[in-house]
Amino acid sequence: WTDRNGKGLTQAATGQIVEKLMNQNLLVRSSYSSVAANYAVEDLAVQDSIRQDWFDKLRSAIQNQSSGRSYFYSYSQGRYARNVRVAFYGGQVSEFQSLVKSTRQRDKVQLLDPFSRDIFDRLDPILQEMYLLDTVPQVIINPAGGDDILAVFDEVAEAQLTPSNELAGCWLDLGVARGDFECLHKLDERTGRKLAEVEGCAALLHGDFERAERCLAEALPSTSQKSKRKSRIAAAHLPVLLYLLLLFKRGSAEALARARSLISTATKGGTNKYAAAMEAITASIAFRQSPSSPAPFAIQLRELCKSPLATLLVGYFHRWLLTDDDATLRVSNLAPIADAYRAAGLAWLAAEAAG
């Protein structure tokens, strides 16, 4: 380490700097008595390096530091996160795509966190779209601070005359979450009115549950309709959650079996971003098929309240399955969740949370 004049720092001076950084929580204890950058500020530091035009120096320093390191170091989570950020912010599209598809590392690397429009605008267009397709569902799951991201997505979506399946899926999610019929109508037009899930979601928002169930069933995979070509969108986005709720409300043995099969299909491969929210549906189906004491079930559902969207679903099932005598066991006070959805412009989810 050197000072501003390029003079090497003594061990004592370096220690004082490290101590100050640790007191500010910018550095944290790591393995073998070493220290590491706080994971929460790593991405912010990279963004600042781009703004101050020394990202290339940072990248070179990282690459030089890692040369000659062991195989274990090369594939540690920390090294993986560095590689992902270098590829993402450096515009290395093929490298980034390869890294995010890798199964070696299971922990997700936070990018553009916090979101910054000026940094987003400097990204490669392919990486911009990849970021939005990954992040928009996360905002629907947990809307805190996501309004800027959704505004950017609106701009990108508006420019797509023939949206890809992936972009159409996120666009549909937003249309539902906002209760935006105009958005759904525009999406329907730009996809050639070929997506039954768009019609199904619009019908559900209108309160036409029979039509919604019929359209969503047409879009989603079914063991009894193997010959029919199914949409790649519905099972990966909000339509599958809406259809599962409709099946649960129908409540027949056939409907519940269909719901269980659909959850298994939709979550296969571990890539469905709404998989965690489906856990409450799975637990509620099991309770409905084999009723037991309500208290353990209510507690089980409370433990699944890992996000605002999951908590909203738990609230549904508490109301539907617990009696008035069990009212104290229910999830209550969803007002903060409603406020968060409202702040992000997700009006329909806000209204559902507000009851």
CA distance linking residue 258 with residue 79, whole number of Å: 43
| Cβ neighbours, 10 Å, residue 28 | 14
| Cβ neighbours, 10 Å, residue 220 | 24
Higher pLDDT, 78 or 352: 352
Residue whose entry in the numeric block shows the structure tokens 């928009």 = 136
What percent of the chain stands above pLDDT 90?
Answer: 66
CA distance linking residue 252 with residue 256, whole number of Å: 6
What is the overall mean pLDDT for the chain?
A: 89
Condensed to tens digits (0 to 9), the pLDDT of residues 180-239 reads: 999 999 999 999 999 999 999 999 999 999 999 999 999 998 755 554 556 789 999 999
Could you give the angle at which helices 347-354 and 308-321 cross, rounded to 10 degrees? 40
Task: Provide the whole-model pTM.
Answer: 0.86
Condensed to tens digits (0 to 9), the pLDDT of residues 11-36 reads: 888 888 888 888 887 777 766 667 77
Task: List alpha helices for the chain, DSSP H.
Answer: 11-23, 39-51, 55-66, 71-74, 77-89, 93-101, 117-120, 125-141, 147-158, 165-178, 181-190, 196-206, 209-219, 238-250, 253-267, 275-289, 294-303, 308-321, 335-343, 347-354
Q: What is the DSSP letter of 325?
A: G
- Strands 27-29, 35-37: pairing is antiparallel
Residue whose entry in the numeric block shows the structure tokens 């069933």 = 217
Which band of pLDDT confidence, cut at 50, 70 and 90, is reported for residue 324?
confident
Condensed to tens digits (0 to 9), the pLDDT of residues 38-82 reads: 777 889 889 999 999 989 988 887 776 655 454 444 457 778 888
Q: Is 36 helix (H, G, I), strand (E, B) or coil?
A: strand
How would you write 97-163 as a 3-class SS string?
A: HHHHHCCCCCCCCCCCCCCCHHHHCCCCHHHHHHHHHHHHHHHHHCCCCCHHHHHHHHHHHHCCCCC
Mean pLDDT of 99-111: 77
CA distance linking residue 77 with residue 107, whole number of Å: 7
Higher pLDDT, 147 or 25: 147
Backbone angles phi, psi at 25, to 5 degrees: 65, 25
Residues forming beta bridges with residue 28, ordered by sequence position:
36
CA distance linking residue 320 with residue 336, whole number of Å: 22
How would you write 114-125 as a 3-class SS string?
A: CCCHHHHCCCCH
Contact in structure between 219 and 230 (CB atoms under 8 Å): yes
Nearest to 107 by CA among 130, 84, 128: 84
CA distance linking residue 274 with residue 145, whole number of Å: 19
Burial of 68 (0-12, 13-18, 19+ CB in 10 A): exposed
* Structure tokens belonging to residue 135: 């992040």
pLDDT at 74: 47
What residue type is assigned to position 129 of the chain? E
pLDDT at 1: 63
State the sign of the Cα–Cα–Cα–Cα dihedral 282, 283, 285, 290.
positive
Mean pLDDT of 105-121: 88
